């Protein structure tokens, strides 16, 4: 769809372009908070897409990884008085730990069974969080993650200012994008593709398919956990809905909308979804109807997603 030469030029300068885009992005948005939301959900969808697009496994339990990261970050800050950066780190590790628990059981299955097992296990996480009120605040959500100023490298920053907050989140997102591009370009990235393409051949080549899947799930949990932690800092609260299965469905929609298996697709999907939600809800409370219709139209007419369609025709 886009001219090949243009795509090639963009590809060559992708690092500079991505950073430039992250810098000007909040200025293009109607308000700053939505820019932060798009980055956080984009990062969440990015982590999800590692399983879905790159490895070809549809997980319906990624809310547990996202929410797990959010709770781990919130609990570290609220109950242990951890500094903000330790909360972010804790959230990332928390996402990975929950991914390891769920993954250990779920990676034996595939297809619809994988989707169902991950869904069931993530609902278990939801109910545990719902019951453990002393830790999680139960149905009221985890409150008290109030950060007015954050400090790093001897620098104290006003975290209440929306634009500053955006750039803090954007810095983490940029790091995550860099990490993901390294992973996809690594030998392990090639193994992920091999396992998606043909499990039997990957095994015959000498790759342990289960271990590969497990590792990908844990890495995916790291990205989603980081997104969850940033969400906790951004909202100053972790609502219990973060863990609910609707969140899992949301990320599937975002990844599909943007284009599964493409690098920036998840961000585009998250952006389009959240912008539609915000704009349409300005004039009707039935915004879900319109966002839903847009999603159905997208799946029917652009099965490769928005980003995937724009890139279509480009040689792999």
Partner 1 sequence: MNDVILRTEAVGKNFGKFCALSDITASFPRGALTSIIGPNGAGKSTYFNLISGAFPPSAGKIVFEDRDITGTAQHHYAKLGIAKSFQITTVFPQISTLENVRIAVQALVSRYNIWRPRATMPELVEKAGELLNIVGLWNRRDRIAGTLAHGEQRALEIAMALASRPRLLLLDEPTAGMSPEETRAMMELIVKLAGERTVILVEHKMKLVMGISDRLLVLHHGELLAEGTPDEIRRNETVKRVYLGQREH
* Site of interaction with partner 1 (CB under 8 A): 182-183, 185-191, 193-194, 197-198, 200-201, 203-209, 211-212, 215, 219, 316
The minimum distance between CB 161 and partner 1, in angstroms, equals 35
The minimum distance between CB 194 and partner 1, in angstroms, equals 5
The minimum distance between CB 39 and partner 1, in angstroms, equals 23
**Residue 88 · residue 230 · CB < 8 Å:** yes
Nearest CB to partner 1, comparing residues 83 and 189: 189
CA angle, residues 303, 307, 313, in degrees to nearest 5: 75
The minimum distance between CB 209 and partner 1, in angstroms, equals 7
The CA distance from 54 to 49, in Å, is 7
Nearest CB to partner 1, comparing residues 32 and 196: 196
The minimum distance between CB 179 and partner 1, in angstroms, equals 9
Residue 51's region, left for phi above 0, alpha for psi from -120 to 50, else beta, is alpha
Nearest CB to partner 1, comparing residues 143 and 182: 182
The minimum distance between CB 307 and partner 1, in angstroms, equals 18
Nearest CB to partner 1, comparing residues 193 and 241: 193
CA angle, residues 13, 19, 21, in degrees to nearest 5: 95
35 class by beta-carbon count within 10 Å (0-12 exposed, 13-18 middle, 19+ buried): buried
The CA distance from 32 to 245, in Å, is 27
254 class by beta-carbon count within 10 Å (0-12 exposed, 13-18 middle, 19+ buried): buried
Nearest CB to partner 1, comparing residues 81 and 206: 206
Nearest CB to partner 1, comparing residues 108 and 143: 108
Angle between helices 245-258 and 32-49 (to 10 degrees): 90
């Amino acid at each position: 769809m886009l001219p090949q030469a243009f795509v090639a030029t963009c590809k060559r300068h992708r690092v500079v372009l991505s950073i430039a885009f992250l810098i000007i992005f909040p200025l293009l948005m109607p308000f700053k908070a939505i820019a932060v939301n798009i980055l956080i959900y984009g990062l969440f969808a990015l982590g999800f897409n590692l399983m879905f697009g790159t490895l070809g496994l549809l997980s319906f339990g990624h809310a547990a990884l996202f929410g797990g990261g959010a709770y781990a970050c919130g609990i570290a800050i609220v109950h242990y008085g951890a500094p903000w950066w330790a909360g972010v780190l804790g959230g990332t590790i928390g996402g990975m730990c929950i991914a390891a628990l769920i993954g250990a059981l779920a990676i034996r299955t595939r297809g619809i069974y994988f989707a169902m097992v991950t869904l069931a296990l993530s609902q278990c996480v939801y109910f545990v969080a719902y019951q453990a009120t002393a830790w999680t605040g139960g149905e009221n959500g985890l409150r008290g993650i109030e950060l007015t100023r954050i400090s790093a490298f001897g620098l104290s920053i006003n975290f209440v200012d929306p634009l500053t907050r955006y750039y803090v989140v954007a810095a983490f997102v940029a790091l995550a994008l860099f990490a993901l591009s390294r992973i996809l370009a690594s030998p392990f990235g090639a193994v992920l593709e091999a396992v998606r393409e043909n499990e039997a051949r990957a095994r015959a080549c000498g790759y342990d398919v289960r271990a590969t899947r497990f590792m990908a799930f844990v890495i995916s949990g790291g990205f989603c956990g980081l997104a969850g932690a940033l969400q906790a800092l951004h909202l100053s609260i972790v609502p219990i809905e973060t863990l609910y299965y609707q969140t899992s469905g949301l990320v599937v929609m975002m990844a599909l909308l943007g284009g599964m298996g493409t690098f920036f697709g998840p961000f585009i999907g998250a952006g389009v979804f959240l912008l539609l939600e915000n704009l349409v809800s300005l004039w009707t409370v039935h915004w879900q109807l319109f966002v839903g219709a847009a999603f159905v139209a997208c799946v029917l007419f652009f099965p490769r997603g928005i980003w995937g369609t724009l890139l279509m025709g480009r040689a792999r």
